Amino acid sequence: MAKPFYRLQRFLRRMQMLLLFLGVAYIMAGSVLLLQRASLAATQRGGGPPLPSLPPPPAAMEPPVLGGGATRQHTPDEQTAPRWLASRNLEIRQLRRRWFHSLMTEQENPGADRGRPHRKIRHKGTYIGCFLDDAKDRAMKGSVFYDFRKMTSTLCQDTCSESGYQFAGLEYGSECYCSNRITSARTREEDCNLDCKGEKGAPCGGVGRLSVYKVEELLPGQKRYRNVRYRGCFKRPANTSTTFLVQSIQPNLTSQSCIGVCTDKELPLAVLRRPVCYCGYASSEFSLHDPAEEWRCAKANSSDTTPSDDQDFYQVYQTPVQDSRCTERKFLPEKSSTLVALSSFPGAGNTWVRHLIELATGYYTGSYYFDGSLYNKGFKGEKDYWKSGRTICVKTHESGRREIEMYDAAILLIRNPYRSLMAEFNRKCAGHLGYASEQHWRSKEWPEFVGSYASWWASHVLDWLRFGQRVLVVHYEELQGALFPQLRAITSFLNASVSAERLLCAESNQDGHFKRSGARQRA
């Protein structure tokens, strides 16, 4: 009996030594990692080694033609990279690490998103009560936006009021819905038991429950319809009664009065041919893909009452109302066995394409990183582990061979390098929606940025073409010019079954909340 007991005692002593050794190793590894991060942060604060000062590239610089949207198969045995590129591989890796570190530093800083101007706001509206909401049939069908960190009842009311809506509803503490009518029943007040994310103590709905406010009513002359844009002149559809949901005849019809009628009816298209105003959605019968010459609509809306073929052409406006047919998104119902990358150089429009993919497919996109500002604005896949298989594709800016070969397929988004560098420089200096100041552009910071990042742009594209297993090349400029066919090619590549109606809805909502205004563009 003593012998087994002795052996057990020896085993326990050895286990103690082993656990002690593992504990010391863990502490040492953690210390080394902290020292490395501290050193990297010090390098960032100190500016690091001097970067070459090169003049900015010409505005006419265009990206090379690399496939034009064709699907290609690649193997690692293809020809090696050019010498000038291989000689800078180490520098580019360091640059990627510095870029990633600066991105993470910005996300840790609550003031990093400097694109949205701060304003002093006050409570204006009247609280109405708690109402039921169903994800399949929304109680408020106007427009929707998210802020998972700073949502307040006042922010929601102001946004709805500025778009011409009468009611603002808050749900889950972070979702804001705008509408001119409420189509659901009232429920118990205690069901709206969630506070707003940015305003403790203020009711912000609950699970499937809306806290609804009547916003401060504006006089007709004070209404400002935001996000209205002219879509063009289009030929009359074969059957207006089935194509359009609302028809209004007004003797003194104007574009503003027609937009007001359709906004009140919560429809995204205002179609004008005096004295008739139509409201509805883009559809296969009225897709808005073949605009006509503007003079036809000018003649159709003139005071000349002589019948002609030109009377069959309508002016079309996009109202502030969001097309609600494609706003609902979710994670994949089953974990995907195929990992698809959405790869681009920083500043090439990755966030915009993610927005389009989520609208078109109804599924969240993921990210290799974590961008808190994107998560707060509704990209819920941002927090999901990038290898979880619950998102339809994964954003990445990496371009090393090992990182590329982790994916089974990739959508490679390519943008004019000059425009990509400008967009990334704007983001680094002023956040997702802001613009770099003239002081930034005129200083040495811009040419140094170009000198460092230009070679990364080239290496990123070439590496994905060399090492990607299955690559769909998408040019940003082609996506802008012909969104519908390009988006159909992307969804087909993702093996997503998407209806034409949903693609048209994505096209109607293409700008989203992450498009910089064109007010400050540089040539």
The DSSP letter of residue 230 is E
Q: What is the pLDDT of residue 373?
A: 80
Percent of the chain whose predicted confidence (pLDDT) is above 90: 30
DSSP string for 65-76? ---TT-EEE--T
- pLDDT tens-digit profile of 266-307? 888 999 988 999 999 999 899 999 899 998 888 656 554 444
Please state whether the predicted TM-score (pTM) of the whole model is above 0.85: no
> Which amino acid appears at position 182 of this protein?
I
- pLDDT tens-digit profile of 337-359? 899 999 999 889 999 999 999 99
Which residues does residue 146 pair with via DSSP β-bridges, in sequence order?
175
Strands (E), 345-418: 366-367, 394-396, 409-414
Which residues does residue 286 pair with via DSSP β-bridges, in sequence order?
283
Burial annotation 263-302 (CB, 10 A radius, 16+ → b, else e): bbbbbbbbbbbbebbbbbbbbeebebeeebeeebbebbbe
Query: Which strand (E) or helix (H) includes residue 456?
Result: helix 445-467
Neighbouring CB atoms inside 10 A of 117's CB total 7
Q: How far apart are CA 212 and CA 184, in angstroms?
A: 11
Query: What's the whole-number average pLDDT of the chain?
Result: 78
| Count of helices and strands (H, E) across the chain | 16, 18
State how beta strands 470-475 and 409-414 pair: parallel
Q: What is the pLDDT of residue 125?
A: 78
SS3 category, 134: strand
- Which residue matches tokens 């000198």? 451
- Those residues with Cβ within 8 angstroms of residue 249's Cβ, 6 or more apart along the chain or in another chain: 275, 276, 277
Residue, of 223 and 258, whose pLDDT is higher: 258
Q: How far apart are CA 28 and CA 167, in angstroms?
A: 58
> Which amino acid appears at position 255 of this protein?
S
Cα 151 to Cα 154, 194, 205, 294, distances in angstroms: 9, 12, 12, 42
Strands (E), 75-154: 126-132, 143-146
Cβ atoms of 170 and 176 within 8 Å: the answer is yes
- pLDDT tens-digit profile of 61-77? 333 333 344 444 444 44
State how beta strands 366-367 and 394-396 pair: parallel
- pLDDT tens-digit profile of 405-456? 999 999 999 999 988 888 888 878 877 667 888 888 888 888 888 888 888 8
pLDDT at 53 over 60: no
SS3 category, 7: helix
- Those residues with Cβ within 8 angstroms of residue 326's Cβ, 6 or more apart along the chain or in another chain: 359, 360, 362, 502, 505, 506, 509
- Hey, what are 420's tokens? 């990509």
Q: How far apart are CA 392 and CA 232, in angstroms?
A: 34
